[in-house]
Every structure is written in C-alpha cells, then in structure tokens.
Amino acid sequence: MSVRTTGATGTTASRCDEAATGSDGSALPWIEDAGKVAPQDARAMSKLFFDRLQVLEEGTREYQYARNTLIEMNLSLVRFAASRFRNRGGDDSEDIIQVGTIGLIKAIDRFDLSREVEFATFAVPYIVGEIKRFFRDTTWSVHVPRRLQELRVELAKAKEQLSAELDRDPTVAELAAHLDLPEEEIIEGLVAANGYSAGSLDTPNADSDSGSDQRAYADLLGEEDPAMESVENLHALAPLLRELDERERKIVRMRFGQEMTQAQIGAELGVSQMHVSRLLSRIVQRLRAGMCVEA
C-alpha cells in the first residue's frame, strides 16, 4: 500500500531532486524503498529521522522526505495492529490498513523525542484508536446514537461478568444496578444492540432440514396485515367521496364518521328517518359501484 494515498505528500522524483540535509548541513541517509526496511532496523532509523524532522522546516522537500520515510518504515505497526481485527473486518482489510495508516500519521506528527518513550509504544494506541473508530462508525447495520453504541459494549462486559457470577443470564434490574443506570436506559441499550448486525431474509432457516426444500426466513416471518385491505379500500374510496355533493358527504360523515343513527341524521337535516335511509342506500350503492369499477 502506498502511503501517498493516505494524505502523505511527496513523490520519489521530488525526494531525489536534492539531498535531505538538515539546517546544520548533515544529511539523512537515502532509503530507496522504506517499506522494505526490517522492523528492528526501522526502530533505530526512526530515531534518526525524528531527530532530523524536529529541525527541518515544515513544507520543504527535506521535511517531506523525512516524514514520508517515517510513515513507510513504520507501516509494519499498522499491519500488526490491523491483525488484531482480522476476524472483524470481513472484506474491509484494505480499509482497516488505510484508517490505521491515518493513525500512524497522526502519531508521527505528534511524537516528541523528549518524552523518552519508544515510538512504537506511542503510535500503536493512535493506530488502534483509528481502527476502533472505523468499526464504531461503519459496522452497525442500523445507525444508532454513539451513546447507545458505547452502552452496547458496556452491556456486553456486564452480562459476561454477571453471567459468570450468577450462573445465569442477568436481568435488566441486575444490569441496571451493576452499571448504575436506569432500567429504561438498559432496555434502550439492549434494543439498540439488535441493530449492530443484520441478516438477509433470503438466508435459509437454521432449523430447516438440509436440502433443496430449505425455507428462507422471508417465508417464515410476518403475516398478512388485516388492516391492509382497509387501507387499500380507503385509498380507492377517497376520489369517489370527492365526487359526492356537500349534502351527501355530510350524510356519510355523520353516519360513518360520527356514527350517528338515521333518526339523529334526520333531525340534523330536517328530514324523516325513512328519507335518510333512502339517501344512504343510494349513496352507498353509488360508492360500491365505483369501487367495483376501480377494482
């Protein structure tokens, strides 16, 4: 992987244009392929390059050569950190290397030799932090607030600890007491944890017998919604109601919306119950005829 794709600037041509000399005139060794430097050699060489990097002017070709070489020499740290996540990355191994390299670059830009700490010790937390942030922000199947993402991790640790102590799965109340959180927040965290991963509805049911007659989850989950037909009928009825005149719509609204009796409607309109009955029959027949045409 070329670190120049991660934001580290500079090219081989520019690095070769002139010697990488510091302000005191001393020159850095030329490394043709820094990525092939052995890790044990990279450790010693890194100290030299960091020492020169501190006195070079940022933005110069000499500075870019020193910085780019440090990145390439220490990519083994990124590969080492990324190997810890090999069972979580799936097909994203290249992405993990990329985000880990971002962490390496941040560590190089913030490293100070006066701290008297090995660069590898300083850099690995930066690299791992970037990789963890990548998983936190990209691996959830359903987007949930970061607070709930972090709560999921705490719940997993608490459940593991309490299960070992109690020899059974802990209750919501026990998790709440252990984490000193309200039960409502524990429930919210448990529900949100279901969004971490999702399976395909086309996946064969685990309980199915092996063979060509396996049934997918889509064939087993869900059922016909009894209200769906009502929704479809109301959707088809709406334009037919708009074709009624104001008096007819008022009668329909009073009878089926307000559930008034025919006698009450007759009293409201100043007509007999018999007349209301005839009006309702005519309106309903007209609407039914329209629904049949729409069907």
Question: Which pTM was predicted?
Answer: 0.44
Q: What is the mean pLDDT of residues 276-288?
A: 90
Angle between helices 146-166 and 183-193 (to 10 degrees): 100
Q: Which residues contact 115 (CB under 8 A, 6 or more apart)?
A: 122
What pLDDT is stored for residue 278 in this prediction? 92
Q: Does the pLDDT at position 138 exceed 80?
A: no
pLDDT, one tens digit per residue, over 94-134 is 888 888 999 999 999 888 877 778 888 899 999 998 888 88
**Of the options 2.40.30.10, 1.50.10.10, 1.10.10.10, 3.40.50.300, the CATH number for the domain spanning 228-294:** 1.10.10.10
Q: Does the pLDDT at position 7 exceed 70?
A: no
Fold identical between 141-197 and 228-294? yes
Query: Looking at the domain that runs over 141-197, which CATH code has it been given?
Result: 1.10.10.10
Residues of the chain above pLDDT 70, percent? 75
In the chain, where the domains are located? 3-138, 141-197, 228-294
What pLDDT is stored for residue 238 in this prediction? 86
Q: Does the pLDDT at position 50 exceed 60?
A: yes
More confident position, 144 or 79: 79
| Count of C-beta atoms within a 10 Å radius of residue 244 | 15
Q: What is the rounded CA–CA span in Å between residue 74 and residue 172? A: 46
Joined tokens for residue 107: 């560590």
The mean pLDDT value of the chain amounts to 78
More confident position, 140 or 105: 105
Which of 22-26, 79-83, 209-213, 225-229 shows the lowest mean pLDDT across its residues?
A: 22-26
Q: Which of 70, 108, 100 is nearest to 82 (CA)?
A: 100
pLDDT, one tens digit per residue, over 212-249 is 556 776 676 666 777 777 777 788 888 888 888 998 98
Top-level class of domain 3-138: mainly alpha
Angle between helices 61-73 and 75-83 (to 10 degrees): 30
